[in-house]
C-alpha cells in the first residue's frame, strides 16, 4: 500500500530555534499534502494544505510566517517551525493524497507523526 514517511519521529529543541519536519510519499506522487497538529487528548487539527509548486494555504489562526511549508516536488513537503516556543510543542502529522479524480474514493495516507518538544 501507499506509504508516507515522516522524519524525524521525535525532536527536542530549545526555545527560539527552528525545526524542519519532512514528509515524503515513498511510492506514489502526492499533488497535495496536508499538515495537521494534535495536542494531547485532542483530535487532529488541520494547519495547512500544500500543493506541489504553489504556495501553501493556511487555516485560520495558523501563522504562515511561523510555520513555513515547502512542497517543492511531488514526493516531498517540509514544515519548518521557526523560532519555536514551548507552546509549539505538539504532535505534527502529515498526510498525502495521490493523483486521482474522485478524491472521495481515495484514502488519505498519513505519516507516523513528529513529536516536537520545545524546552
Partner 1 sequence: DAKTTQPNSMESNEEEPVHLPCNHSTISGTDYIHWYRQLPSQGPEYVIHGLTSNVNNRMASLAIAEDRKSSTLILHRATLRDAAVYYCILNSRGGGGSQGNLIFGKGTKLSVKP
| Interacting residue ranges for partner 1, rule: CB under 8 A | 4, 6, 32, 34, 36, 43-46, 49, 57, 91, 93-95, 97, 102-105, 107-113, 115
Q: Smallest distance from the beta carbon of 16 to partner 1, in angstroms?
A: 26
Q: Taking the CA atoms of 76, 34, 4 and 26 in sequence, report the sign of the dihedral they define.
A: negative
Find the shortest distance in angstroms from Cβ 14 to partner 1.
Answer: 23
Judged by DSSP in three states, 86 sits in helix
Instruction: Please give the grid coordinates belonging to residue 33.
Output: 499534502
Tell me whether residue 19 or residue 36 sits nearer to partner 1 (CB atom). Answer: 36
Min separation Cβ 68 and partner 1, Å = 18
Which residues have a Cβ under 8 Å from the Cβ of 61 and sit 6 or more positions away? none
Amino acid at each position: 500500500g501507499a506509504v508516507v514517511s515522516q522524519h524525524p519521529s521525535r525532536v527536542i529543541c530549545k526555545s527560539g530555534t527552528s525545526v524542519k519536519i519532512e514528509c515524503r510519499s515513498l511510492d506514489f506522487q502526492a499533488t497535495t499534502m496536508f499538515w495537521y497538529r494534535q495536542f494531547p487528548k485532542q483530535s487532529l487539527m488541520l494547519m495547512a494544505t500544500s500543493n506541489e509548486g504553489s504556495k501553501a494555504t493556511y487555516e485560520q489562526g495558523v501563522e504562515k510566517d511561523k510555520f513555513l511549508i515547502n512542497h517543492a516536488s511531488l514526493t516531498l513537503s517540509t514544515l519548518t517551525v521557526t523560532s519555536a516556543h514551548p507552546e509549539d510543542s505538539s504532535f505534527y502529522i502529515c498526510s498525502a493524497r495521490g493523483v486521482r479524480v474522485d478524491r472521495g474514493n481515495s484514502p488519505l495516507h498519513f505519516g507516523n507523526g513528529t513529536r516536537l518538544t520545545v524546552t
